[in-house]
């Protein structure tokens, strides 16, 4: 089993999930409450990674973070090195790739919160931020956990985007799915199998967790 | 004092245009559904922004479109309670009531919560979740939560409509007691006569986005001057009538409805030959199965029961007696008179049970 690759994948997934929490919650909040006429365009962009081949997404991300692009250029000037084939570049690409897996469950959860409760909170003097913390978040906690778990698992398993953007640098961009692919290419089936079994079990546990959460086998908040 | 003056185009195609003051005490907003009552409350609360208008409480301006002031909902210090109580399902009763007291320190907050629990007779329920409460208990929690924040105005949108009469009366009593100690303006939306009479000092009757009548509940609902109001106020029988004789000294006049049936009604200042409209409540019409004698009532009409319909605690009878009358009876009365379709009856209506309405072309078109 390739422990180094596994640890790198977990690190990547943690960074991506946390980033999606920071980016995804405000975006989902806006998507759930906005009545803007062109909102569907933003929704389409968020959902794009669901249908786009990972290689296509990876290709364009690679162009966008390359040294000659504005983003890649600015990054080079600030940090002294480029984004392509680095952990940071890989993280940016993964955040984009997993965006719908976080934002869609968040948005669905926020949309289900009764507007009357948000109005009640405001009329009782709560600022929009307090309303979000005390009413919106607790009442959508299941959807938020689902979104985090799904984006975490999705990042662990991604392949195409990593190959395009990260390459195969041990300890930097060589994630667990790349490691398995390499082992198979090298006809090292035993080692590939050892890693694959871990991923297989992990995916099973994650899905069981998400479904249990949504079926209220147990509850993360006191029963309502 | 609350001063409201708002104009807003509504999706239903009508324009909301209201202008009123509300002193401490209860102002009833009365009217059929769709007349714009709830919209008025939502404009005061700040949930919707009218095209133009001004809302002030005492010296503080909540909305003034002319000078661009529109205080956000959470800074208005207004209490609002709708039919949908919107208790926070993930919080206990205590947490719900404490929710609006974020600015108060913990000790004072606990004191205030306990005080509200006692004042609204829910002291034992502090640790329960809303789902574990009865409808009446939820209502009390919602009121307590609303009033804990010491709002400057209280807006109530049919908050009692889901409750049985007994519970309604108890909660209205609590609300009145609270308002005596803490006199702020309450704007109370309802289409129940009972609530209007029990709670209201001032009543505003709304129709089509406008205030059609205002005054005390007795002035407005008992003697409606306009057809629209008569209809809403429960005058089920409205007739077009020709004035045949007027006797100003006796305070009566004789009208003819349906071409030949003579009716004596209170004198309204109309002249002989004028056309007026007269109205009577279905509950103010008496029915006898024999011709009554020695009666003070001046209107005695012979007729026939066309239909009987049981609706809740009353029977609605339609009687053809020169004109088609709707009459409300108790089931007991209906039974002891052995009324059935086709029964010959005598209809008795006191002169002063009739109301004479002033005429208004638009309203006439709507009614006939």
Instruction: Count the neighbouring beta carbons within 10 Å of the beta carbon of residue A79.
Output: 11
Backbone angles phi, psi at B85, to 5 degrees: -70, -25
pLDDT at B313: 74
Tell me which architecture the domain covering B2-230 has in CATH.
Answer: 3-Layer(aba) Sandwich (3.40)
Kindly determine whether residue B78 and residue A123, on different chains, have CB atoms separated by under 8 Å. yes
Task: Tell which of B43, B71, B80, B90 to mutate to test the A interface (max A CBs under 10 Å).
Answer: B90
Average pLDDT of every residue of chain B? 85
Among B10, B14, B1, CA closest to B212: B14
Cα–Cα distance between B15 and B298 in angstroms, integer?
Answer: 44
Q: Which two tokens stand for residue A26?
A: 């405000």
Q: Which two tokens stand for residue B7?
A: 């104009």
Which chain B residues are Cβ-neighbours of A220 within 8 angstroms? none
- Strand B185-190, strand B153-157: pairing: parallel
- Smallest Cα distance from A125 to chain B, Å: 4
pLDDT at B368: 40
- Smallest Cα distance from B74 to chain A, Å: 4
Through-space distance between the first and last CA atoms of chain B, rounded to whole angstroms = 41
* Averaged pLDDT, B72-96: 93
B305 burial type by CB count under 10 A (0-12 exposed, 13-18 middle, 19+ buried): buried
- B188 neighbors B156 (Cβ within 8 angstroms): yes
Selected residues 80-119 of chain A with any CB under 8 Å from a CB in chain B: 114, 116-117, 119
- Strand B78-81, strand B153-157: pairing: parallel
**Nearest C-alpha in A relative to B86:** A117
Give the containing element (helix H, strand E) for A205: helix A189-214
pLDDT at B98: 95
pLDDT digits (tens, 9 = 90+) for B170-221: 888 888 888 888 889 999 998 777 777 777 788 898 888 888 888 887 777 6
Cα–Cα distance between B353 and B243 in angstroms, integer?
Answer: 17
Of A116, A130, A223, the CB nearest to B86: A116
Of A126, A128, A224, the CB nearest to B89: A224
Cβ neighbors of B349 (< 8 A, separation 6 or more) are B263, B280, B284, B285, B286, B297, B299, B301
pLDDT at B364: 44
The Cα-based distances of A190 to A178, A185, B63, B317 in angstroms read 15, 12, 73, 90
What is the domain partition of chain B in residue ranges?
Answer: 2-230, 231-367
Kindly determine whether residue A224 and residue B77, on different chains, have CB atoms separated by under 8 Å. no
Of B86, B90, B102, the CB nearest to A120: B86
**Nearest C-alpha in A relative to B48:** A119
Kindly determine whether residue B90 and residue A120, on different chains, have CB atoms separated by under 8 Å. no
- Smallest Cα distance from B181 to chain A, Å: 21
Cα–Cα distance between B58 and A172 in angstroms, integer?
Answer: 66
Place of tokens 């011709």: B291
Cα–Cα distance between A107 and A127 in angstroms, integer?
Answer: 21
Place of tokens 């986005």: B209
Cβ neighbors of A88 (< 8 A, separation 6 or more) are A75
Regarding the domain delimited by B231-367, which CATH topology (the fold level of the hierarchy) does it fall under?
OB fold (Dihydrolipoamide Acetyltransferase, E2P) (2.40.50)
Kindly determine whether residue B73 and residue A116, on different chains, have CB atoms separated by under 8 Å. no
Of A122, A221, A222, the CB nearest to B74: A122
Which chain B residues are Cβ-neighbours of A224 within 8 angstroms? 89-90, 129, 131
Q: Which two tokens stand for residue B227?
A: 């057809």
Which chain B residues are Cβ-neighbours of A128 within 8 angstroms? 74
- B5 neighbors B53 (Cβ within 8 angstroms): yes
Kindly determine whether residue A126 and residue B99, on different chains, have CB atoms separated by under 8 Å. yes
Inter-chain CB pairs, A–B, below 8 Å: 62
Place of tokens 């008179």: B337
pLDDT at A80: 76
Q: Spell out, as residue ranges, where chain A has pLDDT lower than 50.
A: 217-224
**Nearest C-alpha in B relative to A130:** B102
Residue B229 pLDDT more than 80? no
Q: Does domain A3-218 have CATH number 1.10.3720.10?
A: yes
Give the containing element (helix H, strand E) for B185: strand B185-190
The complex scores an ipTM of 0.76
Selected residues 52-111 of chain B with any CB under 8 Å from a CB in chain A: 72-80, 82, 84, 86-90, 99-100, 102-103
- Is B11 near chain A, with CB under 8 Å? no
Give the containing element (helix H, strand E) for B79: strand B78-81
Cβ neighbors of B109 (< 8 A, separation 6 or more) are B98, B101
DSSP structural state of residue B358:
P
Give the containing element (helix H, strand E) for A111: helix A87-112
* Averaged pLDDT, B42-59: 92
Kindly determine whether residue A127 and residue B74, on different chains, have CB atoms separated by under 8 Å. yes
Cα–Cα distance between B6 and B54 in angstroms, integer?
Answer: 6
Cα–Cα distance between A46 and A40 in angstroms, integer?
Answer: 10
Angle subtended at Cα B90 by Cα B188 and Cα A213, rounded to the nearest 5 degrees: 140
Cα–Cα distance between B174 and B196 in angstroms, integer?
Answer: 16
- Which pTM value belongs to this model? 0.70
pLDDT at B359: 52
Which chain B residues are Cβ-neighbours of A124 within 8 angstroms? 74, 99-100, 145-146, 149
pLDDT at B249: 84
Beta bridge partners of B55: B4, B63
- Smallest Cα distance from B67 to chain A, Å: 23
Beta bridge partners of B182: none
Residue B305 pLDDT more than 70? yes
3-state helix, strand, coil in chain B (%, to 5): 30, 35, 35
Kindly determine whether residue B74 and residue A126, on different chains, have CB atoms separated by under 8 Å. yes
pLDDT digits (tens, 9 = 90+) for B326-337: 899 888 888 889
- B16 neighbors B38 (Cβ within 8 angstroms): no
Question: How many angstroms from the chain centroid is the CA of residue B290?
Answer: 37
pLDDT digits (tens, 9 = 90+) for B257-282: 888 889 999 888 788 888 888 888 88
Task: Tell which of A123, A139, A220 to mutate to test the B interface (max B CBs under 10 Å).
Answer: A123
Of B76, B86, B90, the CB nearest to A138: B90
Cα–Cα distance between B212 and B78 in angstroms, integer?
Answer: 26
pLDDT digits (tens, 9 = 90+) for A92-111: 899 999 999 999 999 999 99
What is the domain partition of chain A in residue ranges?
Answer: 3-218
Cα–Cα distance between B154 and B189 in angstroms, integer?
Answer: 11
Instruction: Look at phi and psi of residue B284 and say left if phi exceeds 0, alpha if psi is from -120 to 50, else beta.
Output: alpha
**Nearest C-alpha in B relative to A117:** B86
Which chain B residues are Cβ-neighbours of A120 within 8 angstroms? 80, 86-88
Helices (H) and strands (E) in chain A, counts: 12, 0
């Amino acid at each position: 089993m390739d422990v180094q690759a596994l640890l790198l994948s977990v690190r990547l997934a943690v960074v991506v999930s946390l980033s999606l929490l920071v980016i995804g919650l405000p975006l989902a909040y806006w998507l759930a409450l906005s009545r803007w006429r062109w909102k569907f365009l933003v929704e389409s962009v968020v959902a794009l990674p669901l249908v786009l081949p990972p290689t296509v997404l990876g290709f364009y991300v690679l162009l966008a973070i390359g040294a000659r692009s504005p983003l890649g250029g600015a990054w080079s000037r600030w940090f002294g090195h480029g984004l392509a084939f680095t952990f940071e570049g890989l993280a940016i690409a993964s955040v984009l790739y997993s965006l719908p897996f976080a934002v869609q469950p968040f948005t669905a959860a926020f949309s289900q919160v009764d507007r009357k409760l948000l109005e009640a909170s405001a009329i009782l003097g709560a600022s929009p931020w307090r309303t979000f913390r005390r009413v919106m978040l607790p009442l959508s906690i299941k959807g938020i956990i689902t979104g985090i778990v799904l984006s975490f698992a999705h990042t662990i398993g991604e392949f195409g985007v990593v190959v395009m953007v990260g390459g195969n640098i041990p300890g930097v961009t060589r994630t667990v799915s790349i490691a398995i692919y390499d082992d198979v290419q090298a006809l090292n089936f035993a080692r590939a199998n050892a890693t694959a079994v871990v991923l297989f079990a992990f995916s099973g546990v994650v899905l069981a967790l998400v479904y249990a959460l949504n079926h209220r086998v147990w509850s993360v908040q006191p029963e309502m | 004092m609350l001063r409201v003056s708002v104009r807003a185009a509504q999706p239903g195609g009508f324009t909301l245009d209201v202008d009123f003051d509300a002193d401490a005490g209860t102002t009833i907003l009365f009217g059929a559904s769709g007349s714009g009552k709830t919209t008025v409350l939502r404009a005061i609360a700040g949930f919707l922004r009218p095209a133009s208008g001004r809302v002030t409480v005492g010296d503080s301006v909540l909305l003034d479109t002319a000078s661009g002031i529109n205080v956000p909902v959470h800074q208005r210090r207004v209490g609002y309670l709708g039919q949908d109580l919107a208790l926070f399902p993930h919080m206990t009763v205590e947490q719900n009531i404490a929710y609006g007291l974020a600015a108060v320190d913990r000790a004072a907050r606990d004191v205030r919560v306990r005080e509200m629990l006692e004042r609204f007779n829910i002291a034992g329920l502090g640790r329960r979740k809303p789902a574990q409460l009865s409808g009446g208990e939820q209502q009390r929690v919602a009121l307590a939560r609303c009033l804990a924040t010491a709002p400057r105005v209280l807006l109530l949108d049919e908050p009692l409509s889901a409750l049985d009469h007994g519970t309604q009366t108890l909660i209205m009593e609590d609300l009145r007691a609270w308002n005596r100690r803490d006199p702020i303006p309450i704007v109370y939306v309802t289409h129940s006569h009972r609530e209007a009479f029990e709670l209201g000092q001032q009543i505003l009757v709304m129709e089509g986005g406008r205030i059609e009548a205002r005054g005390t509940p007795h002035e407005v609902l008992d003697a409606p001057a306009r057809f629209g109001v008569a209809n809403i106020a429960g005058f089920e029988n409205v007739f077009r009538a020709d004035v045949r004789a007027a006797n100003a000294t006796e305070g009566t006049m004789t009208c003819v409805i349906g071409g030949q049936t003579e009716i004596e009604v209170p004198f309204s200042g109309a002249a002989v030959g004028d056309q007026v409209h007269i109205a009577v409540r279905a509950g103010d019409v008496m029915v006898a199965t024999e011709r009554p004698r020695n009666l003070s009532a001046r209107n005695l009409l012979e007729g026939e029961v066309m239909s009987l319909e049981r609706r809740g605690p009353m029977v609605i009878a339609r009687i053809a007696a020169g004109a088609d009358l709707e009459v409300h009876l108790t089931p007991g009365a209906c039974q002891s008179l052995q009324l059935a379709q086709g029964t010959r009856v005598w209809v008795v209506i006191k002169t002063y049970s009739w109301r004479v309405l002033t005429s208004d072309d638009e309203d006439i078109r709507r009614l006939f």
